[in-house]
């Protein structure tokens, strides 16, 4: 049996409102998330979307993390499109190798039983 350890979360952001100070610029919200700048732009990895009750909704992988997160939150063809209103927290794990991302994504979907991932499900 192969032992797989889920990587640690490198960045975690939650839906929140900005309360700008006097000289602070207003940050554009994407589906209620204003901290997308904390997600690396040029790194690959795994993205986990959670609801307010800490239920795992969806797991995805990306070569460019921030771009993919924004795409899931805005794009009309995202598998997460119908469930965007449920997303409260986004966790990001940096994983450089493409093959590792594929393995971790499939493992996390099945181990943590992601609610809206329909591909790569083996536990049903």
pLDDT of amino acid 124? 58
Q: Over pLDDT 90: what percentage of the chain?
A: 78
What's the rounded mean pLDDT across residues 24-28? 81
Q: Over pLDDT 70: what percentage of the chain?
A: 98
Run of H or E including 102: helix 98-111
pLDDT of amino acid 53? 97
| Beta-carbon count within 10 A of 55 CB | 14
Give the angle 34-37-38 at the CA atoms, nearest 5°. Answer: 105
pLDDT, tens digit (0-9, with 9 covering 90-100), for 62-115? 999 999 999 999 999 888 999 999 999 999 999 999 999 999 999 999 999 999
Residue 14 CA, distance from chain mean position: 11
């Amino acid at each position: 049996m192969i032992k797989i350890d889920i990587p640690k979360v490198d960045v975690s952001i939650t839906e929140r409102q900005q309360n700008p100070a006097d000289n602070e610029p207003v940050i554009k919200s994407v589906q209620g998330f204003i901290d997308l700048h904390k997600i690396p732009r040029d790194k690959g990895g795994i993205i986990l979307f959670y609801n307010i009750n800490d239920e795992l909704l969806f797991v995805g992988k990306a070569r460019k993390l921030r771009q993919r997160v924004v795409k899931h939150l805005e794009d009309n063809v995202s598998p997460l499109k119908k469930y965007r209103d449920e997303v409260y927290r986004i966790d990001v794990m940096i994983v450089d190798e493409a093959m590792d991302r594929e393995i971790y994504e499939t493992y996390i979907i099945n181990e943590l039983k992601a609610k809206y991932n329909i591909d790569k499900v083996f536990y049903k």
